Amino acid sequence: MTNQEQHIMRLALRALAAAEAGPTPTDLADAPLIELWQVLLNPRGAPVLYGYASGHPNLGTQTVRTSWLIAIDRDAGWARTLNRYYRLGRSLEEAARHGVNRDPAQAEVAPGTYNYEYPGYTPITDHAVLRELLAVHAAQLRTLATDTGIS
């Protein structure tokens, strides 16, 4: 395993532990807000968020594709990626149901047409499938960490 892969694994383990503990009020106060978001599966099989973020410490306010999605709690309004927490605003799916703009510069979204087009990425709109995928990824991460002695 390369040094880069080991570094990413350590980041993922820390992100997973943070997500399982849940965000603190400070974590959420400092977190960027992502609006009109959707979960996409990248070509390597990892879920990411794609949406319009504001308050991102490196990217400011713009459409973003996040790092690997580690956990998401729609009811509590947060998501944890490899690098940070995000506060969840309205999803693109919710916005489309209400016929609102998907992006400040875009026309209105028709109901049922809420998938972003992002080449090579597949939308995950089934919440149960996403929960299962995140659980499988967490289990695989823990197994790999144990097998390689990374903590």
CA distance 26 to 126: 30
CA distance 17 to 146: 15
What is the reported pLDDT for 105?
Answer: 45
Q: Nearest Cα to 85, choosing from 48, 39, 32?
A: 32
- Per-residue pLDDT tens digits for 1-12: 899 989 999 999
Length of the chain: 151
> 122 forms bridges with which residues in the sheet?
41
- Per-residue pLDDT tens digits for 36-72: 999 999 999 999 999 999 998 888 788 889 999 999 9
Q: Write out the two tokens for 37.
A: 């978001």
**CA angle 45–38–117, rounded 5-degree value:** 80
Q: Write out the two tokens for 143.
A: 């197994």
Residues 86-104, mean pLDDT to the nearest whole number: 76
What is the reported pLDDT for 92?
Answer: 86
Residues 76-101, mean pLDDT to the nearest whole number: 87
Strands 85-88 and 33-41: parallel
pLDDT band at 107 (very low <50, low <70, confident <90, very high): very low
Task: Examine the pLDDT at 103 and tell me if it is beyond 70.
Answer: no
Residues 70-77, mean pLDDT to the nearest whole number: 96
Backbone angles phi, psi at 3, to 5 degrees: -60, -40
Task: Examine the pLDDT at 116 and tell me if it is beyond 80.
Answer: no
Q: Nearest Cα to 50, choosing from 60, 35, 72?
A: 35
- Per-residue pLDDT tens digits for 117-146: 778 899 998 999 999 999 999 999 999 999
